[in-house]
Structure 1
Amino acid sequence: MQFYGLKACDSCRKARKALQNQQVEYIDVREGHVPDAVLQAALEKFGDALLNRASTTWRGLDEVTRAGDPLALLKAHPTLMKRPLIVRDGGMTLGWKPDVAAYYAALPEA
């Protein structure tokens, strides 16, 4: 399981705590690289929901940049990605809402 997030993100902290008994590879999007294939698959699955338009990074962008290609935006500004993005067995989840938390809580411990 790969976990893409930020150390300082509250949702990521909650998710990391809940997943502490799982085998998880944690990748901080500021420090690590989100593979292009993962970004592309996430964008295809989640569409515009992948972009965190409430982030300070988004608010700091001008309108021309915001209107650009979402994949290019995420590559240039990885903190624009909603978090956490969790990849497991070919599937993906985005965010840490109750339905996602319940899904991972039901997994057997690794």
Structure 2
Amino acid sequence: MMKMYGIKNCDTIKKARKWLEQHQIDYQFVDYRQDGLSSELLATFSQQLGWQNLLNTRGTTYRALPAETKANLTEQSALALMQQQPAMIKRPLLQVKDTYILGFNAEQYEKLLED
């Protein structure tokens, strides 16, 4: 089963969910805040997508970090921040079998579902 990870009140999540529902595609939604996020799953995301890609640097949570914290980020410290504050993870994160996609792009979703 396809899984979508994110935060339910995120506008991009809402667009992606609406798209999947309009195309009658079954999926499981996992809300980082309600359902939690294990460090093992976060590490898998990082391995598959790269921690720099996973980190939402455009969000207000990241921008509120002290400059020193942002300047000294490593994979370990970034994953710890994302674990503590899941809003720092780019979303949606779509998992179809062993394929992971960050963000919502209708054409990318269509291509993935054709395969």
Query: For the superposition of Structure 1 and Structure 2, which TM-score range results when normalised by the shorter chain?
Result: 0.7 to 0.9
Greater per-residue helix proportion: 2
1:45 — aligned with what?
A: 48
Identical positions, percent: 31
SS at the partner of 2:44?
A: helix
2:12 — aligned with what?
A: 11
Q: CA deviation at 1:96?
A: 0.6
Report the AA paired with residue 108 of structure 2: V
> Structure 1-normalised TM-score?
0.82
1:1-110 matches, cutoff 5 A:
1-20=2-21, 21-47=24-50, 48-66=52-70, 67-68=72-73, 69-104=77-112, 106=114
Q: CA deviation at 1:43?
A: 1.0
What are the ranges of 5 or more consecutive residues in structure 1 without an aligned counterpart? none
Q: Structure 1 50/31 Cα, relative in aligned 2: closer, same or farther at 3 Å?
A: same
Mean Cα deviation higher: 6-15 or 93-102: 93-102
Q: CA deviation at 1:38?
A: 2.3
Mean Cα deviation higher: 75-84 or 43-52: 43-52
Q: CA deviation at 1:55?
A: 0.4
Contact 2:49-2:100 within 8 A present in 1 as well = no
**Runs in 1 of length 4+ with deviation above 4 angstroms?**
none
Contact 1:5-1:29 within 8 A present in 2 as well = yes
Q: CA deviation at 1:36?
A: 2.4
> Structure 2-normalised TM-score?
0.79
Over the aligned positions, Cα root-mean-square deviation in angstroms equals 1.9
Report the AA paired with residue 39 of structure 2: D
Q: CA deviation at 1:98?
A: 4.2
SS at the partner of 1:30?
A: helix
